[in-house]
């Protein structure tokens, strides 16, 4: 078979569908948040959110389904496959920068803002506004304990968070094993390792949810317990969201392996999901180091 040309779809209704779905999702989320801070949330935004969510799902399945189908029909030239790889790489880079902003905030707060407020460093005079405030990290006693009532203590890094670190590292390994099996045409091995990865992912999330409830209920560590709680929940929260997304990707890969979508040397969808998973893993390692340990 001659190599197909670069495939340019004639037209597609998915993009506009996607734009509408994203808009409705975002609009309904904004409305819900907006109304909840104004008092109570009306029926309309909630209903809209549900509709929008369904539309999103339909769009994702439809659009990705179409792309998958084109791949299966052999429309994708090597060049197009390369396009997919490059785009996924840059997409992950954009995610890296998203987290970089948050880590930047964390470092700024702990190395500059908190010491200044506590009377240390170049802007230490600021302390006259917060008499009695002592800088330390993690920050448990905030400058204004009435507005931001601090936390009793932080989570011990070497207990459950460490377990979670191990879980995620192992999950990266099992995902790599699945990849090896895929390349060795060992379908049942691939499936098994994917399931193991997925279970580890779910386990991670369960531990994380347990940790959250422990933090909120027992340690009084919440988003409003000052800058430590803020950065803690921001970073771990967005990380958790990414684990969830990665988990969904792996689940889809499970389904696609099952349906023989991949060949040993043509399985970019699988690799993309794996890259994403490893990226999420690396974020966790940084998080573990800078949020929990140090």
Partner 1 sequence: MSEHSSDHHGPEKGLLRWVYTTNHKDIGTMYLLFALVALLVGGTMAFVIRAELFQPGLQLVDPNFFNQMTTMHGLIMVFGAIMPAFVGLANWLVPMMVGAPDMALPRINNWSFWLLPFAFGMLFCTLFMDGGAPNFGWTFYAPLSTDYAPPSVTFFIFSVHMMGISSIMGAVNVIVTIFNMRAPGMTFMKMPLFVWTWLITAFLLIAVMPVLAGVVTMMLMDIHFGTSFFNAAGGGDPVMFQHVFWFFGHPEVYIMILPAFGVVSHIISTFSRKPLFGYTSMVWATASIAVLSFIVWAHHMFTVGMPLVGELFFMYSTMLIAVPTGVKVFNWVTTMFKGSMTFETPMLFAIAFVVLFTIGGLSGLMLAIAPADFQYHDTYFVVAHFHYVLVPGALFSILAAVYYWLPKWCGRMYNESLGKWHFWMSFIGVNITFFPMHFVGLAGMPRRIPDYALQFAEFNAIVSVGAFIFGLSQLIFIYNLWKTVVKKEGEAATDKVWDKPEGLEWDIPSPAPYHTFQEPPVVK
Partner 2 sequence: MTRMGISAVSAFLLLTSSLSAFAEWGLNLPEGVTRISQEVHSLHMTIFYICVVIAVIVFGVMLYSIIYHRKSRGAQAANFHESTVVEIIWTIIPLVILVVMAIPATSTLIDMYDNTEAEIDIQITGYQWKWRYTYVKEEVDFFSNLSTPQDEIDNKAEKNENYLLEVDNPLVIPVNTKVRFLMTAEDVIHSWWVPELSVKKDTIPGFINEAWTKVDKVGIYRGQCTELCGKGHGFMPIVVKVVEQDEYQAWVTEQAKIQAAAREIKDMSYEELMAQGEKVYSTNCAACHKPDGSGMPPIFPALKDSKIALGDINDHLDVVVNGKKGTAMAAYGSQLSVSDIAAVVTYERNAWGNKKGDFATPKQVKSFKENK
Contact set with partner 2 (CB under 8 A): 116-117, 123, 125-126, 128-130, 143, 147
Instruction: Tell whether residue 162 is a contact of partner 1 (CB under 8 A).
Output: no
**Binding site partner of 108, from partner 1, partner 2, none, Cβ cut-off 5-8 A by kind:** partner 1
- Report the Cα 237 to chain-centroid distance in Å: 8
Q: Residues 135-154: x/- map of binding to partner 1 (CB under 8 A)?
A: ----x--xxx--xx------
Instruction: Tell whether residue 95 is a contact of partner 1 (CB under 8 A).
Output: yes
Instruction: Tell whether residue 268 is a contact of partner 1 (CB under 8 A).
Output: no
**Binding site partner of 40, from partner 1, partner 2, none, Cβ cut-off 5-8 A by kind:** none
Instruction: Tell whether residue 20 is a contact of partner 1 (CB under 8 A).
Output: yes
**Binding site partner of 16, from partner 1, partner 2, none, Cβ cut-off 5-8 A by kind:** partner 1
CA distances from 163 to 203, 226, 239, 288 (A): 10, 26, 16, 11
Cβ(172)–Cβ(194) below 8 Å: no
**Binding site partner of 128, from partner 1, partner 2, none, Cβ cut-off 5-8 A by kind:** partner 2
Cβ(257)–Cβ(191) below 8 Å: yes
Cβ(253)–Cβ(272) below 8 Å: no
CA angle 99, 16, 259 (to 5 degrees): 75
* DSSP 3-state of 263: strand
Cβ(151)–Cβ(219) below 8 Å: yes
Cβ(201)–Cβ(247) below 8 Å: yes
Pick the closer one to partner 1 by CB: 22 or 196. 22
**Binding site partner of 105, from partner 2, partner 1, none, Cβ cut-off 5-8 A by kind:** partner 1
Least CB distance to partner 2 at residue 116 (A) = 7
Least CB distance to partner 1 at residue 261 (A) = 19
Cβ(55)–Cβ(18) below 8 Å: no
């Amino acid at each position: 078979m001659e190599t197909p040309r670069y495939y340019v779809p004639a037209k597609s209704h998915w993009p506009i569908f996607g734009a509408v779905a994203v808009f409705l999702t975002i609009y309904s989320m904004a409305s819900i948040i907006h109304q909840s801070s104004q008092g109570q949330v009306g029926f309309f935004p909630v209903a809209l959110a549900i509709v929008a969510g369904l539309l999103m799902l339909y769009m994702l399945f439809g659009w990705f389904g179409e792309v998958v189908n084109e791949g299966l029909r052999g429309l994708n030239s090597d060049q197009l496959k390369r396009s997919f790889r490059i785009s996924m790489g840059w997409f992950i880079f954009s995610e890296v920068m998203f987290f970089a902003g948050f880590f930047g905030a964390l470092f700024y707060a702990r190395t500059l803002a908190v010491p200044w407020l506590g009377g240390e460093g170049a802007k230490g005079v600021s302390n006259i506004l917060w008499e009695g405030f002592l800088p330390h990290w993690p920050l448990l006693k905030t400058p204004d304990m009435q507005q931001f009532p601090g936390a009793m203590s932080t989570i011990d890094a070497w207990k459950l968070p460490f377990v979670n670190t191990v879980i995620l590292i192992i999950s990266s390994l099992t995902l790599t094993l699945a990849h090896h099996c895929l390349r060795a045409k060992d379908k049942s091995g691939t499936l098994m390792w994917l399931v193991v990865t997925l279970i580890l992912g779910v386990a991670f999330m369960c531990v994380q949810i347990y940790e959250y409830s422990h933090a909120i209920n027992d340690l009084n560590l919440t988003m409003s317990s000052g800058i430590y709680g803020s950065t803690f929940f921001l970073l771990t929260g967005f990380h958790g969201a990414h684990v969830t997304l990665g988990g969904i990707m792996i689940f889809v890969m499970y389904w696609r392996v099952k349906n023989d979508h991949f060949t040993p040397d043509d399985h970019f969808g699988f690799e993309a999901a794996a890259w994403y998973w490893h990226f999420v893993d690396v974020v966790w390692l940084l998080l573990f180091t800078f949020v929990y340990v140090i």
